[in-house]
Amino acid sequence: MCSSRYRRFEPLSDASQKIVVVADLPVASLQALLARYELGLVVQPDGEAITGSFWGDEEAGIVGYNVYVRSDTPIHSLLHESCHTICMSADRREQLDRDAGGDDLEEEAVCYLQVVLADEIESLGRRRLMRDMDAWGYSFRLGSTAKWFSEDSGRARKWLIGNGLLSRDGQPIYSLRA
C-alpha cells in the first residue's frame, strides 16, 4: 500500500527531478537495513549540521558504527557512507570519524554495494538509485552508474565476494568486513 511518505519511485527522466531523500522513505525500514550490519542510523533535526559529514550540507556522516542523516539527506548518500563503514577494515572502523579513507578499489566496492543494497529498500531499487547517483554527480569512466555497474564493475564485485560481503550470486551477506 502506498502513501505520500512511502511510494514507488520511478527512474528520473532528467537530472533536474528530485533525488530521493530520507523523508521520502520510512525511517524504520532504513534503520532495519543498517541494523542488519549492526550499524545505527541517527536522524538529526533539520537545519542542524550533520555529525561526521565529509561533504557537509545535507550529506550523510559517519562516526564509528553510526550513520548520521537529516530528512533532506539523499538516500544515495546514506547508502554510500553506510557502505564505507561496511567495507572498511575493523581497525579503521574503530577509529572512524568523518573520513572513511580507503583505496580506489574499496571505493568502487562501496559504490557497487550501495547499488545492491538499494534493492533491499522497498520502493527504491537499484535503477532509481543509479539515476540519483548520476544526478548528484558520481563520476564513472563509462559515463553513467548503470553502464559502470553492468560493464565495468567486476573488480568491485570480486573484492566484495573476497571480503565476505557479497555472495557469489550477488546477494548481500549482512556482515561487516573483518
Q: How confident is the model over 137-157, as a mean pLDDT? A: 94
> Is the model's pLDDT at 125 over the cut of 50?
yes
Please count the structural domains in the chain.
1
**Within a domain: 71:** yes
Q: Is residue 13 part of a domain?
A: no
- Average pLDDT of the chain is 91
Average pLDDT over residues 99-103: 96
In a domain, 120, yes or no: yes
Q: What is the pLDDT of residues 14-28, one digit of tens each?
A: 545 799 999 999 999
Is residue 2 domain-resident?
A: no
Name the pairing type of β-strands 66-69 and 40-43.
Answer: parallel
- Does residue 11 belong to any structural domain of this protein? no
pLDDT of residue 14: 54
What is the DSSP secondary structure assignment for residue 13, as one 8-state letter? Answer: S
User: Distance between terminal CA atoms of the chain?
Assistant: 39
Q: What's the rounded mean pLDDT across residues 73-85?
A: 98
